[in-house]
Structure 1
Amino acid sequence: MAQRANWKGFLKVAELTCPVALYTAASTSDRIAFHTLNRATGHRVRRKFVDSETGKPVESDDQVKGYEIADGDYIALEPDEVAAAVPDGDRTLAVDTFIGCGDIDDVYFDRPYYLAPTDRHAQEAFALIREGMKAKKVAALARTVIFRRVRTFLIRAHGAGLIATTLNFDYEVRPAGDAFQDVPDIKINPEMLELARHIIKTKKGKFDPAKFEDRYEDALAELVKAKLEGKPIPKPKAPEATKVVDLMQALRDSAGKGKRKPAAAVAKSKAKAAPKPAPARRKAG
């Protein structure tokens, strides 16, 4: 079944325009989901909005948005007032500028979408934009209205299509200094740094998302299966106690593991190093 588009419109670069669609690239819909039940009856529990002071239920027609200006003091906003504040969208993903692919800090990355052409007549224009970006090794910054908000997208070439990633606004990204202000500036021992470099070199590899397991999701699946089959609930393994070790010794031990040869190679090298027995002397006579 073809994937449903989240948004359809036009990708516009200067005077070049082609119809495109955004498709969800990452989703949590396949995760195990739970409902809240009444333990006594097994029936689902429904949420109901109640007045925080009177405790009486409030019907949907009587519910309005409110912005808190002081403790317990709100400005009420009617649905039509909120709707009027939503910016108009012309369904155009207009490119403002091109930047280097590595020019933006990925802390600003929000949600990725696949961007693809929706009209076979637009495929040539789409391919021209994609190949031009590949050749110049650039990404595009573009804006459009999606989900009732003006969002900025970072668009990059990706295989036969493009990846359009929504970006966090500057006010949404907290300053790194707030988190790192208590991290001291420590001078590292050159030997320790060399050992660390060696460890990193021996552990170097390539990113393979298939190798990373969602252990929480797997544990939930096992729990549900056990309950269905009436089997004992699997008990999680107790984590090993963390030991406080000497940093230098830990680095040496880690580096030593990377240098160890396979058992067969060690045995072979020992055999080569072993001295050969002296030839037996022939008796005279």
Structure 2
Amino acid sequence: MAPRAVWKGVLKIAEMTCPVSLYTAASTAERISFHTLNRKTGNRVHRQFIDEVSGKPVETEDQVKGYDKGDGDYVILEPEEIAAAVPESDKTLTVETFLPCDEIDDLFFDKPYYVSPSTPVASDAFTLIREGMKSRQSAALARTVIFRRMRSILIRPHGDGLIATTLNFDYEVRSAADAFSDVPAIKIDDEMLELAEHIIKTKAGKFDPKSFDDRYESALAELVQAKIEGRKLKPQKRPEPTKVVNLLEALRQSAKGAGSKAATRSKPAATEAPRKKAS
């Protein structure tokens, strides 16, 4: 089944336009989800909004947004007032500038979307834009209204298409200086630094998303299946507490372990046991 576009509009660069569609590139839809039940009856329960003073449920038509000015004094905002204040989408993804692909810090990255031409006629313009950006190793910084919010979006070439990543606003990214303010300035011993560099070098590799399993999700799936089948699962063993050792000695031991693993990985393929083919 073809994916459903979450946004359709026009990619505009100067006077050139190209009809495009945005598709969600990352989703949590495949994760295991639960319903909340009444333990006694087994029936699902539903949330209600309760008036915190009267304790009575508030129906949907009586619910409005309110901004707290302080001390519980609220400004009431009617739905039509909010709708009138929010900018309307003109369905145009307007490119404001081009910049190097690595210009923007990853801290500003929010959510990725696949971008593809929305009509066969748009394929020529789309391909021209994609290849031009590839040859210049450039990304496009654009703006549009998506999901009722004006968003800055970084567009980069990706395979046969483009990736559009919504960006966090400056006020949404917290200060790194505040987070690292308690980190003391320490002079690192040369031997310790060399050992750390050795460990990093021997454990160097490449990112393969398939090699990282979601252990939490796998454990939940196993638990659900066991409950369905009436089986009991053995409790998972808790990891042994890490022993506090001298940092330099820990680096030396780690370097030895990393070296032996690297030697094992470097053995010729002929020495490995043959693998059975799947039947």
Aligned equivalent of 2:4 = 4
Q: Secondary structure at the match of 1:48?
A: coil
Deviations 1:22-66 (A, max 9, x none): 000000011111111000100000111111100111111111000
Q: Secondary structure at the match of 2:5?
A: coil
Unmatched 5+ residue regions in structure 2?
268-279
Aligned equivalent of 1:186 = 186
**Matched residue type, 2:82:** V
Aligned equivalent of 1:127 = 127
Deviations 1:206-235 (A, max 9, x none): 000001111111111111111111111331
**Matched residue type, 1:96:** E
Please report the RMSD computed on the Cα atoms of aligned residues, expressed in angstroms.
1.1
Inter-partner Cα distance in structure 2 for 1:35 and 1:88: 36
Inter-partner Cα distance in structure 1 for 2:166 and 2:234: 40
Give yes or no for contact 1:93–1:144 (8 Å, CA) kept in 2: yes
Inter-partner Cα distance in structure 2 for 1:130 and 1:79: 41
**Matched residue type, 1:236:** Q
Aligned equivalent of 1:157 = 157
Give yes or no for contact 1:13–1:95 (8 Å, CA) kept in 2: yes
Q: Secondary structure at the match of 1:141?
A: strand
Deviation at 1:258, TM superposition (A): 3.1
Inter-partner Cα distance in structure 1 for 2:46 and 2:247: 54
Aligned equivalent of 1:136 = 136
Inter-partner Cα distance in structure 1 for 2:259 and 2:175: 41
Inter-partner Cα distance in structure 2 for 1:234 and 1:112: 39
Deviation at 1:236, TM superposition (A): 1.6
Inter-partner Cα distance in structure 1 for 2:191 and 2:102: 32
Inter-partner Cα distance in structure 1 for 2:61 and 2:258: 67
**Matched residue type, 2:241:** A
Aligned equivalent of 1:278 = none
Aligned equivalent of 1:214 = 214
Deviations 1:103-160 (A, max 9, x none): 1110000000001101111111101111111111111100000100000101000000
Q: Are residue 248 (structure 1) and residue 248 (structure 2) matched? A: yes
**Matched residue type, 2:5:** A
Q: Secondary structure at the match of 2:123?
A: helix
Aligned equivalent of 1:274 = none
Inter-partner Cα distance in structure 2 for 1:191 and 1:131: 48
Q: Are residue 147 (structure 1) and residue 147 (structure 2) matched? A: yes
Residues 53-202 of structure 1 aligned to structure 2 (within 5 Å) = 53-202=53-202
Inter-partner Cα distance in structure 1 for 2:158 and 2:58: 49
Deviations 1:228-262 (A, max 9, x none): 11111331211111110111111111222233355
Give yes or no for contact 1:50–1:56 (8 Å, CA) kept in 2: yes
Inter-partner Cα distance in structure 2 for 1:259 and 1:215: 28
Inter-partner Cα distance in structure 1 for 2:99 and 2:221: 44
Deviation at 1:85, TM superposition (A): 1.0
Q: Secondary structure at the match of 2:67?
A: strand
Give yes or no for contact 1:223–1:234 (8 Å, CA) kept in 2: no
**Matched residue type, 1:221:** A
Aligned equivalent of 1:223 = 223
Inter-partner Cα distance in structure 1 for 2:196 and 2:57: 62
Aligned equivalent of 1:272 = none
TM-score (norm 2): 0.92
TM-score (norm 1): 0.90
